[in-house]
């Protein structure tokens, strides 16, 4: 099968695969907001309902309306608000959050939770979505999940599986006509190069951030992922933050995500970063566009 290039008349399309509601707003949100406003059909796909997430906003921890029973519905409401702010489409895969096990030894994951499912079985609804939405680009997490949450690691696994299986005409024809996604990216949001650049800028201004400096001590730059693609999101930082704050049970609005001024981010490192993991079309690296190689010449070069 040859990758189907977009025609001049059709919009570009992408899917961003995430583990839980709120991940779409903390990882790659500036990029999806930008692309949506540029006319790209962006769909966020959330694998689980985030049912086992903790209430991290101190203002809501003692709120009697926020209970383990009401949290699933609340998280759906929060996701709908974040979706509206980002300007993207959204779909649920419908799996159950696996939680983040703690202890030594680690306890087993809950039965029938997302991370316990066979990869091909868990990939089926994503295959159906890919064949129906026909994205040109997919974004997901690296093989370590970006950080080692079992649902994030499983998200990587089913994304890779769906990338292959959606294109295979022999696999589950009942899930739709085969579709080849042209490019698969890993979101590379947490790396030492970015943290170090922001820290240097803050120190130069005489306003060092202690939390950031402590984080830098735990990061080894030699372990940074490859940065192949950097998307300018300087005009979308406020939208990103508003979307993240929409997940009120999951985010402290005064927490560390919001303590670095946008002016500092803009000056020190104004991009969201990706690793091009698989491409079925010719590419020239580095890139400043997830759709590099897919745009028609008459659209002009993307700044």
Residue with tokens 């093989």: 143
- 68 and 22 assigned to the same domain: yes
- 49 and 176 assigned to the same domain: yes
63 has binding-site annotation:
no
Where helices occur in 47-191 by DSSP H, the ranges are: 71-86, 119-133, 150-165
Q: In this predicted structure, what is the pLDDT of residue 224?
A: 81
23 has binding-site annotation:
yes
Q: In this predicted structure, what is the pLDDT of residue 274?
A: 98
Give mean pLDDT, residues 39-68.
92
- 1 in a domain, yes or no? no
- 198 and 264 assigned to the same domain: no
- 3 in a domain, yes or no? no
pLDDT at 303 over 50: no
- 27 in a domain, yes or no? yes
Pairing of strands 41-48, 137-140: unpaired
**Tens digits of per-residue pLDDT, 17-48?**
999 999 999 999 999 999 999 999 999 999 99
Query: Model's pTM, two decimal places?
Result: 0.94
- 7 in a domain, yes or no? no
Q: In this predicted structure, what is the pLDDT of residue 174?
A: 98
- 284 in a domain, yes or no? no
Q: What is the spatial distance between Cα 165 and Cα 162, in angstroms, rounded to a whole number?
A: 5
Work out the pLDDT band at 120, boundaries 50, 70, 90: very high
Phi and psi for 279 in degrees, rounded to 5? -135, 135
In a 3-state reduction of DSSP, which class is residue 48? Answer: strand
Half-sphere exposure of 165 (CA within 13 A, CB side): 24
Q: What is the spatial distance between Cα 105 and Cα 153, in angstroms, rounded to a whole number?
A: 19
235 has binding-site annotation:
no
Q: How many CB atoms lie within 10 A of CB 262?
A: 14
Instruction: Please state, for a pLDDT cut of 90, what percent of the chain lies above it.
Output: 74
- 292 in a domain, yes or no? no
* Average pLDDT of the residues of the chain: 92
Range of the domain at 201: 191-224
Q: In this predicted structure, what is the pLDDT of residue 259?
A: 86
Q: In this predicted structure, what is the pLDDT of residue 228?
A: 97
Give mean pLDDT, residues 195-204.
93
**Tens digits of per-residue pLDDT, 4-15?**
788 888 999 999
Give mean pLDDT, residues 93-99.
96
- 298 in a domain, yes or no? no
Q: In this predicted structure, what is the pLDDT of residue 298?
A: 34
Half-sphere exposure of 251 (CA within 13 A, CB side): 24
Query: What's the token pair of residue 72?
Result: 């699933």
In the chain, how many domains are there? 2
Work out the pLDDT band at 300, boundaries 50, 70, 90: very low
Q: How many CB atoms lie within 10 A of CB 284?
A: 7
Are 45 and 15 a contacting pair, CB within 8 Å? yes
């Amino acid at each position: 099968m040859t990758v189907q290039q977009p025609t001049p008349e059709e919009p570009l399309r992408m899917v961003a695969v995430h583990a839980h509601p709120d991940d779409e707003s903390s990882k790659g949100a500036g990029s999806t907001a930008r692309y949506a406003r540029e006319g790209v059909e962006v769909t966020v796909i959330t694998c689980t309902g985030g049912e086992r997430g903790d209430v991290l906003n101190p203002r809501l921890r003692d709120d009697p309306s926020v209970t383990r029973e009401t949290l699933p519905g609340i998280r759906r409401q929060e996701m709908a608000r974040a979706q509206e702010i980002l300007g993207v489409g959204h779909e649920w895969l419908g799996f159950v959050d696996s939680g983040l096990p703690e202890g030594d030894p680690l306890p087993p994951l809950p039965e029938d939770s997302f991370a316990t499912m066979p990869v091909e079985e868990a990939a089926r609804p994503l295959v159906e979505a890919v064949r129906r939405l026909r994205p040109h680009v997919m974004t997901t997490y690296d093989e370590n999940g970006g950080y080692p949450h079992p649902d994030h690691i499983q998200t990587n696994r089913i994304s890779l599986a769906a990338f292959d299986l959606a294109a295979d005409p022999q696999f589950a024809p009942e899930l739709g006509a085969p579709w080849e996604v042209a490019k698969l990216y890993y979101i590379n949001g947490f790396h030492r190069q970015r943290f170090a650049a922001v820290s240097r800028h803050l120190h130069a201004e005489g306003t060092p951030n202690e939390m950031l400096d402590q984080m830098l001590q735990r990061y080894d730059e030699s372990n940074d992922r490859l940065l192949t693609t950097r998307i300018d999101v300087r005009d979308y930082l406020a939208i990103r933050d508003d979307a993240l704050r929409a997940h009120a049970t999951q985010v402290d609005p005064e927490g560390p995500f919001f303590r670095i001024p946008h002016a500092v981010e803009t000056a020190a490192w104004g991009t969201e970063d990706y690793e091009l993991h698989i491409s079925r079309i010719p590419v020239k690296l580095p890139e400043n566009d997830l759709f590099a190689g897919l745009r028609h010449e008459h659209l002009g070069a993307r700044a």
